[in-house]
Chains A and B, each alone.
Chain A
């Protein structure tokens, strides 16, 4: 943006930039307010919610980090989400490949079958799911959380990946077959590399979804040392009053890793973009 002034700019693009920057303001103001609150005292939040803090309350962050067990929770969340991400992407993309590219009568039905998983709110399957897992002795363990996370991520992954696989040109696969590739090579060597952009989006959505998942984590895990981030964030909402400042401090700490993962995946998407798309 620095070198913008060097070239003549069309009025349209100036308008576009103004609109985009206004949107940035809409997006950042509430988030900056959150940072502001996290540096105040609880009393200040109510007396002057939008003023600047009198004294920067960095202690909120220390409190949130130590009392909220944020370090441990973040570690647990990372383990759960990363494993769930890898497995669900792998299983999901395999299934999508079979549904999208291979020829069998039931492929449409299989797609609908998986999609049902997307249409059920998690609350309604909670009790039967929990009872099953409890009988298997899988509750109160991270593995017991990873399994449902993988499964709940599958429908969305499959739905997205089928879309991306279907969009691939048929000629690619034909050429590969003529070159003697078998179906597994088609999947690993052609489908996967070509759908990198799509996979990044699916991966991003899976990861973010699991990272913020509260209900299953709350119900499945009882042990403090195995709790995930969203659960620990609720610690600050008490039965009669909410500990706003420390809660927002914790939220800010909790965003950090997501942003990291997010930049990793999303820049993948933009890499694809710069490699493949527009020149204005």
Chain B
């Protein structure tokens, strides 16, 4: 009897200690939290120069919105990201007391993961950045993205008119504009003028000239082209250009409508050309990452780099001596092929949540991303191309390569996206990328590789 009583007592003791144990743990948790937030406040006070002052001045009235982005604003060396940080700081400063934007950052890899989790929990950020193509389509189809057509074309006509023509093309769904671009980049061929001189070649304008230039550069003892197949989209960008140069400009639309097969001779031909061109890649292309391939170019080992214009900042940042000897030309034409003045471009887009409670604040913020200061920064420092046409850009301040890119853009007749971002789904884009890698590695012939894309489409897209 006594024993039983004792055990009962002890068990009560156990429970209380347990509860208090739990209590203590949660308490410390929240205590730590308040502590951390208070020290955070103190810290912001100390570093008032870098942080915006709005945090201390926050009142009950201030409207809080969130913006989600795929790179950290502080620790980055990416110039575009630094520009975004300035936009956010400027916005928070100017609207102190009215609006305040809080930034949620992730790394690129976990971006979709976190965004999806937030959306699933009905906690969508008011504004978030998004790639064009199937990624955006997902959010549009799910009703996550707000329709901006009315706002742009009616309420904010001046703003809408400030954008360059055609910029909304790839982010319009059934006539509805679903996003606002902040900058765009165009894929070109960057080349090392010194190596070209040493090898005695000029910037090629046709595919045949490109091949012979590569041959001469190789004979002169340099790597002709630096390309990363380890990062599949880099290789797939070259493939995309070839596909377009051979069989463009409507091939992608026809594929989407199933008026054309992936086994079309133009695609096979492009695949064969990719294989042909790849013999001039650096020996380690199969394993090199994007960073490594780019480094081989700015360290003067390779003569050419086929990349988006965002690479300008990276090249000049890592090797400032390289700027004067870096030239740019557009991806060469294929004789007997399609229009050679079309370019692969990619915009960074802002998507407004369809459930945002403060559309006014969000629109104000979007305007800051596309206003003169931000767009001037984009061009002059960030090395990307502005999306608005009313900005005077001082090209003497901008990286030299950017003005070459602009010259090419002046003759541009049309744009298309990265192939992997222009197909039916993210998965379809991956299938295409991997088919190109397979061609490059010599695992399959061009026929077999495109047959794979074809069968993926037959199974999943053209049902």
Where the two chains meet, the residues of A that have a C-beta atom closer than 8 Å to any C-beta of B are 42-43, 46-47, 63-64, 67-69, 72, 75-76, 79, 83, 86-87, 90, 126-127, 130-131, 134-135, 139, 141-143, 146, 182-184, 214-215, 218-219, 222, 224-226, 232, 234-244, 246
Contacts and interface: CB of A to CB of B under 8 A. Distances in A.
Contact of B121 (A64, A69, A134, A218): A134
Contact of B291 (A86, A141, A235, A241): A241
A152 to B, nearest CB: 16
Contact of A218 (B3, B21, B106, B298): B106
A19 B169 CA distance: 65
B109 to A, nearest CB: 8
Given A235-B107, A240-B310, A215 B295 contact: no
Nearest to B78: A238
B123 A134 contact: yes
B389 interface: no
Nearest to B7: A182
25 contacts: A42-B318, A43-B298, A68-B74, A76-B36, A79-B28, A87-B22, A127-B120, A130-B117, A131-B120, A142-B32, A215-B110, A215-B113, A218-B107, A218-B110, A219-B114, A222-B104, A225-B40, A225-B43, A234-B106, A235-B74, A236-B75, A239-B71, A239-B78, A239-B81, A239-B108
B76 A238 contact: yes
Contact of B311 (A46, A75, A142, A240): A240
Nearest to B115: A219
A67 B75 contact: yes
Q: Which 9 A-B pairs have the closest CB atoms?
A: A46-B295, A134-B121, A143-B29, A235-B72, A235-B75, A234-B107, A225-B40, A130-B117, A67-B75
A72 B43 CA distance: 10
Given A184-B14, A219-B117, A240-B311, A46 B70 contact: no
Contacts of A218: 106-107, 110, 113-114
B110 A75 contact: no
B290 interface: yes
Contact of B292 (A46, A126, A127, A139): A46
Nearest to A244: B291
B260 interface: no
B16 interface: no
Interface in B20-51: 21-22, 25-26, 28-30, 32-33, 36-37, 39-40, 43
B314 A146 contact: no
B236 to A, nearest CB: 16
Interface of B: 3, 6-7, 10-11, 14, 21-22, 25-26, 28-30, 32-33, 36-37, 39-40, 43, 66, 70-72, 74-78, 81, 102-110, 113-114, 116-117, 120-123, 290-292, 294-296, 298-299, 310-311, 314, 318-319
Nearest to A246: B75
Contacts of A69: 74
Contacts of B123: 134, 139
Contacts of A214: 110
Contact of A83 (B29, B75, B103, B319): B29
Contact of B113 (A72, A126, A237): A126
A90 B10 CA distance: 17
A67 B295 CA distance: 25
B77 A243 contact: yes
A46 B110 contact: no
B291 A182 contact: no
Contacts of B105: 224, 235
Contact of B33 (A47, A64, A143, A236): A143
B10 A182 contact: yes
A243 B107 CA distance: 13
Given A141-B29, A238-B71, 9 more contacts: A42-B318, A46-B299, A134-B121, A214-B110, A225-B36, A235-B74, A235-B107, A238-B78, A241-B294
A131 B122 CA distance: 8
B347 to A, nearest CB: 14
A121 to B, nearest CB: 13
Contacts of A43: 295, 298-299, 318-319
Contacts of B77: 42, 238, 241, 243
B262 to A, nearest CB: 29
Given A46-B299, A243-B76, A90 B33 contact: no
B39 to A, nearest CB: 8
A46 B288 CA distance: 11
A146 B27 CA distance: 12
Contacts of B299: 43, 46-47
Contacts of A75: 36
Nearest to B318: A43
B132 to A, nearest CB: 15
Nearest to B72: A235
Contacts of B290: 240-241
B310 A142 contact: no
B78 to A, nearest CB: 5
A246 B66 CA distance: 28
A153 to B, nearest CB: 13
